């Protein structure tokens, strides 16, 4: 990880030890205009920030944002007061994305003019894909307005996503809080019990592998492995836990 971050420094300055830029963000809240400034956000607090190229884009929606939302409880347990998602998008777009993602544990910061991102030295030109000026992907840990740690994606073509993820940040804050368990779950589309099991795992901040019936997985194969006919069927570190209620009891 350190090598990748040093490669990024060839293009982007690492601002560890410096104060974050002073910026005011216009935000739309309940159909009214409001504002949040960096003094209000960071003063006296420990804040994790992750910034990405754009709302509704593939990696941002499928991995980057959801994982920070999933791990919010673990970040809180380790002294983090707030998690910010910053993007060079306007507040209407960011609000729509937040609603679409059901990411209630993350604060969405619309850096519509790019002032904050520019102040971080991470405003890049993405005209080749019609994005204009956007943020390079990175994350940082900020304490009382001072940047303690930055994970800047390496200066490679496209949109690298190697070091600014939630698990890397959590492992930096507390290596013992990082997930070491391996979880697999047999599911089928539209199953409400599967949704319940996923919610339990998300609440625990745990990643899992989905084995979807009908997608290369037959019910007879699942039955042979689990001796069960219903979904979900969850395994943790090779141990068969059972269905959604069994999973809830396991963590209780």
Q: Quick count: other Cβ atoms within 10 Å of Cβ 2? A: 7
Chain centroid offset of residue 237 CA: 24
**Is-contact 147 19, C-beta < 8 A?**
yes
Q: Which of 198, 177, 161 is nearest to 75 (CA)?
A: 177
Q: Which of 60, 85, 191, 194 is catalytic?
A: 60
CA pair distance 80, 11, nearest whole angstrom: 29
Question: β-pairing, 138-143 with 146-152?
Answer: antiparallel
- Token couple for 63: 């991995």
Is 60 considered catalytic here? yes
Residues designated as active site? 60
């Amino acid at each position: 990880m350190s090598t990748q971050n040093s490669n990024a420094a060839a293009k982007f300055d690492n601002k560890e030890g410096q104060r974050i830029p002073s910026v005011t963000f216009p935000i739309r809240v309940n159909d009214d205009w409001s504002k949040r400034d960096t003094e209000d956000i960071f003063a006296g607090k420990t804040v994790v920030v992750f910034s990405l190229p754009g709302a509704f884009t593939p990696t941002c929606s499928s991995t980057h944002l959801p994982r920070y939302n999933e791990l919010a409880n673990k970040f809180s347990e380790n002294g983090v007061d707030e998690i910010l998602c910053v993007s060079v998008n306007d507040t209407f777009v960011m609000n729509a994305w937040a609603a679409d993602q059901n990411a209630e544990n993350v604060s969405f910061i619309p850096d519509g003019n790019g002032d904050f991102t520019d102040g971080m030295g991470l405003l890049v030109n993405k005209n080749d894909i019609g994005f204009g000026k956007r943020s390079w992907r990175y994350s940082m840990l900020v304490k009382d307005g001072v940047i303690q740690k930055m994970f800047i994606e390496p200066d490679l073509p496209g949109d690298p996503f190697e070091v600014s993820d939630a698990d890397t940040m959590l492992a930096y804050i507390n290596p013992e809080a990082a997930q070491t368990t391996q979880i697999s779950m047999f599911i089928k589309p539209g199953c409400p019990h599967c949704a319940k099991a996923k919610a339990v795992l998300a609440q625990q901040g745990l990643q899992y592998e989905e084995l979807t019936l009908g997608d290369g997985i037959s019910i007879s194969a699942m039955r042979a492995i689990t001796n069960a006919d219903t979904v979900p069927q969850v395994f943790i570190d090779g141990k068969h836990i059972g269905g959604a209620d069994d999973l809830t009891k396991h963590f209780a």
